[in-house]
Structure 1
Amino acid sequence: MIDDRDYFPHIQPERTRNILQSMQDGVVTTDEAGNIDYLNPAAADLTGIQIQDALGRPADEVVVLLPEGSALPVKTPVASFIKSGGLDHPLAEYLQLILKAKDGRETGVSLNLSSVLDQNRGFRGAVLVLRDITRDIQRQKEILYLSYHDELTGLYNRRFFEENLKRLDTERQHPLSVIIGDINGLKIFNDVFGHLEGDRLLQTAAGIFRRTCRSEDLIARWGGDEFVILLPLTDPDTAGRICSRIREECSKEFEKDLKISISLGHATKTGAKTDTENLIKTAEDRMYKQKLLESQSLKDTIINSMRLLLQERNVETEEHTDRVRFISRRIGEELKLNGTQMKQLDQLALLHDIGKIAVNGTILFKTGHLTREEWEEMRKHPETGYRIARFSPELSQIAEYILTHHERWDGTGYPRKLRITDIPLLSRIIAVADAYDTMMNDQPYRKAMDQKQAVSEILDNAGTQFDPEIVRIFMEKVLNTPLKN
């Protein structure tokens, strides 16, 4: 036992024992022969050996230490330390050790190995202090992982990619190819469904890259919506085939029921003449060229997919949009709208409720009254529709009409509380056409009205919800029912 009485006379032996017994660090002491003469509970737990079974045994049999990454223990470190009289520290070279317990458990530990001296400074044995650093090791691994990985997708990050690009840029790795990929429509996806869904889209894309690339390829998130793949010993044809595999896999993947689309470009370095900076730039330029060529088509595809999804979910049926379009055109013709306005009116009839794609289905198809929170979510759909329309240059001209199609003549509508002629004319037309057709057909929250009831609702709300002049034209030119003065 360590006896501190000569050095700390005010500390009683019982107090010393209590301190050692209470320590979370494992403490093992030996005699001059290297046999254990004390083991505290923490050390017993770490080694998996009961205190009574450890006493008198060589410390090297009980405290089995392995260098990290090795299956072989350090050979008799305590015996060597004692043989040198505490002068030789055989474990000093190891920053981190693994303690192997009797039951096979392995624990990362830090070790302090010191001499036990008597009052004359004579060597009387050794004391080992073992600290469980499992959590520290795990934290270090997590920090190291995060320093080289993208937290969202789990792929390597740009820093790791650039370091390995330098490492792999050797003649024996040529031809060296790079693929740059950019997710199409991520911004509109974020705007419509929120950034959490946008994050899921990025994670899905990362999964596509993992499945389509080879084990030797290095896949990284380049930043934002861009990914980069480093392909050692890969010629241009092979890089092109991998791009084709990625596109094919994209055609099978859907997020929020919308097909995933990724623009790709690749480039190959065959010798020392091309530097890696130009290699990346060439791949990136080719990716952007593809994106530019397909830009309008991709945007149209995304918006059309959203519209079809609304139809599939039975939110906006094709029959409903056809009827709204017919009513709107009759009103527009009477108002002598020009060709551009009539085209915009057709588009508005088709897409005025496209923002409902972001509304939860349980709200859209709820049979009872909406709660305040549900109604607040429903009222967001004109703003979502506005952002969708702004995404496409062709539809940006009707974005304002989509935003304002639920405004009311008396200024109590949403989202901007516009009134009278501050509300765009096309929005006022759609408001009447949409309301009438909605009332004339079954809805989740009520059965269809008959025509008399629907007409009565339209007339009762002329001058409050609807533009009175639009209502007059609707009655006379669509329903052929002249209004009485």
Structure 2
Amino acid sequence: MTADSIVAASISITLVLLISYGFLYFSEKKHYFLAWSLSVLTLMITYLSRTALLETNSPSVVLQIINYASSIAGYWLVFKGTQLFFSRSYPVFWDIGTGFLILAFICIAVQGIPTTALLLLSVVWIIALLSKAAMTCLKAKTPQGPIRIILGYTYIFWALSILLYPLCKLINVIPPSVGYLVAGVVGLLAYLNMQALYFQSIREELESKEANIRKLVIYDKLTGAYSRTYFENTLEDFLDKTLMPAALVMGDFNGLKLINDTFGHEKGDELLADGVRIMQETIGPENVIIRWGGDEFIIIMPGVPLDQAGVLLNNVKDNLKISRPKTVPIDISFGSTFFENREQPLAEMINQAEEKMYSNKLNESKKTRLAIIEFLEKLLWEKDYQTEAHVMRLKSLVSKFGSQIGLSAREIVELVQVAMLHDIGKIGVPGEILKKQGDLTPEEWSIMKKHSEIGYRITQSSRELAHVSEAVLGHHEWWNGKGYPQGLKEDEIPLFSRIVSIVDSYDVITHERPYKRAMDPYSALVEINKCAGKQFDPYLVTVFNKIMQESLVVNDR
């Protein structure tokens, strides 16, 4: 083969590589393909300029600079593309070093100073770049196939082949062109491996996505329980493999709507996942949990008698309490039935379990909701400056207020509930805003104002408290219509809201907080009266005056 044909073949192969890498870059928009494409181009320039230098009797300084700069830049781009492919950061030293060598060669070549020492340093630098790229390949965890390892060792052989060229010139036994040819062949193999590595990574990514999709079909993403879709699609096989007789249980989490309305769905999802984890740990891996929908789950216990299933379910309830002693209480209502043989219709068995579960839920969900409300009250006392003593004082005052205006015993109980729960929505306001000692910013004040709506949602979530939700929502409305959140005025504001607004303001004024001093009762009454007809119902202020004057006279005796 003649020298011209070798050159032609080399250029052809390089152009094919350049086109393929360029196509991959423009189609995939991956920066490592850009780096590798540019490396092919610059190393082709290195090869062509080297050929021109060999055929020229008096080598041009410009050709020497082009040959050197393209060579250093080409190998740096190989290194750069490899780091980008594996998403590895590296010290800027590698970029600065490459730029320095190119700049130093230009200065030295222009001055006519011998460049032998710098060329040898450059060989060391190129070997270092390829060795660093090799280590990146070998240390990476993905792609997991052998191509990554092969590319790493190819880089090492490429680095060693770079050393051949100066060695051939030094020992003068093998023509230098052989070293140059070996480096070119190994480099070609490296570029082919780079492309193969990319396709390997794509294949593994597709396999991973397929596995994730398959997992999403089989398992519920949030809780890790089996999905209803998978269960229904594999029902016949599942029942054939299930040890009979078997217990079938329907379970439903209590109070999650209340938690979602208070803390948001993210917290509700966290509690749901936590509850399923505790449930699975308690009943054991041999028993199957299926997320049936929303907060409902089906449990199938192969070979477990109904009485033993009952023991396991009681253990679940106990473990839910034990594992969450200082957090939002959660509970599950269960309903159980018994599979005696495979001939029994599954739909009928599920309906039986569901009916029993809803029957139990009528009693249990009420207890859970009230337990959550009690927990929220205690949490608010810890989070805000409000104390249990503040709530008790309000309770006493609104009871007197209710009696004074002729409310029935049932209405006074409701009024007391409003007084105790009017600020429950503050549980959804960040603590740093609640305890801020200076003035709130407009943004902070906007967040603070939302507590009325949060309190409304909390009380609405509980059937036992829904009747006081409108009063909780309206306790910051003003008589003149300039309050929030709805801008109600006068008699549009619920009566209980108007009463609690007066009593709460009075108690806050007369008790010290870290950000203000307490006012004496008489001065506080003056302030309340100043706001009559503006913030407060003027008639109710008159009633409050009478109550407090009687109380203050008694206390003064």
Q: TM-score, normalised by structure 2?
A: 0.63
Partners of 1:239 and 1:270 lie apart in 2 by: 14
Q: Are the equivalent residues in 2 in contact too, given 1:440–1:450 (CA < 8 A)? A: yes
* Residue deviations 1:376-419 (CA, integer Å, cap 9, x gap): 22211222222222233332222211111111111110111111
Alignment correspondent of 2:277:
207
Name the structure where helix makes up a greater proportion of residues.
Answer: 2
Q: Are the equivalent residues in 1 in contact too, given 2:258–2:462 (CA < 8 A)? A: no
Name the structure where strand makes up a greater proportion of residues.
Answer: 1
Alignment correspondent of 2:318:
248
Q: Are the equivalent residues in 1 in contact too, given 2:278–2:320 (CA < 8 A)? A: yes
**2:546 corresponds to 1:476:** yes
How much does 1:434 deviate?
Answer: 0.6
Alignment correspondent of 2:467:
397
3-state SS in 1 of match to 2:300: strand
Q: Are the equivalent residues in 2 in contact too, given 1:366–1:444 (CA < 8 A)? A: no
**2:359 corresponds to 1:289:** yes
Structure of greater Rg? 2
Counterpart amino acid of 1:195? H
Identical residues among aligned pairs (%): 36
Partners of 1:292 and 1:198 lie apart in 2 by: 21
Which of 247, 256, 262 aligns to 1:177? It is 247
Q: Are the equivalent residues in 1 in contact too, given 2:246–2:301 (CA < 8 A)? A: yes
Cα gap change, 1:104 to 1:203, in 2 (>3 Å): farther
Partners of 1:389 and 1:268 lie apart in 2 by: 38
**2:13 corresponds to 1:16:** yes
How much does 1:279 deviate?
Answer: 2.4
Counterpart amino acid of 1:204? D
How much does 1:171 deviate?
Answer: 7.3
Identify unmatched segments of 5+ residues in structure 2. Answer: 25-77, 83-143, 152-191
Partners of 2:231 and 2:533 lie apart in 1 by: 64
Partners of 1:172 and 1:471 lie apart in 2 by: 71
Cα gap change, 1:314 to 1:172, in 2 (>3 Å): closer
Which of 418, 439, 450 aligns to 1:348? It is 418
**2:409 corresponds to 1:339:** yes
Identify unmatched segments of 5+ residues in structure 1. Answer: 6-10, 26-40, 46-97, 106-126
How much does 1:435 deviate?
Answer: 0.4
Cα gap change, 1:318 to 1:260, in 2 (>3 Å): same
Q: Are the equivalent residues in 2 in contact too, given 1:331–1:478 (CA < 8 A)? A: no
Report which structure shows greater RCO (CA 8 Å, sep ≥6).
Answer: 1
Q: Are the equivalent residues in 1 in contact too, given 2:384–2:431 (CA < 8 A)? A: no
How much does 1:22 deviate?
Answer: 7.4
**2:258 corresponds to 1:188:** yes
Partners of 2:488 and 2:516 lie apart in 1 by: 29
Alignment correspondent of 1:218:
288
Alignment correspondent of 2:486:
416
Q: Are the equivalent residues in 2 in contact too, given 1:332–1:342 (CA < 8 A)? A: yes
Aligned length: 386
Which of 420, 443, 447 aligns to 2:517? It is 447
How much does 1:238 deviate?
Answer: 2.9
**Alpha-carbon RMSD:** 3.3
Q: Please, which moves more after superposition, 209-218 or 423-432?
A: 209-218
The runs of at least 4 aligned residues of structure 1 exceeding 3 Å deviation read 20-25, 98-105, 127-131, 253-256, 311-316
Q: TM-score, normalised by structure 1?
A: 0.71
Q: Are the equivalent residues in 2 in contact too, given 1:330–1:478 (CA < 8 A)? A: no
Alignment correspondent of 1:259:
329
Which of 237, 240, 247 aligns to 1:167? It is 237
Counterpart amino acid of 2:12? R
Alignment correspondent of 1:364:
434
**2:370 corresponds to 1:373:** no
Which of 460, 482, 485 aligns to 2:530? It is 460
Which of 267, 291, 297 aligns to 1:227? It is 297
How much does 1:255 deviate?
Answer: 9.6
Counterpart amino acid of 2:16? I
Q: Are the equivalent residues in 1 in contact too, given 2:330–2:368 (CA < 8 A)? A: no
Partners of 2:289 and 2:20 lie apart in 1 by: 47
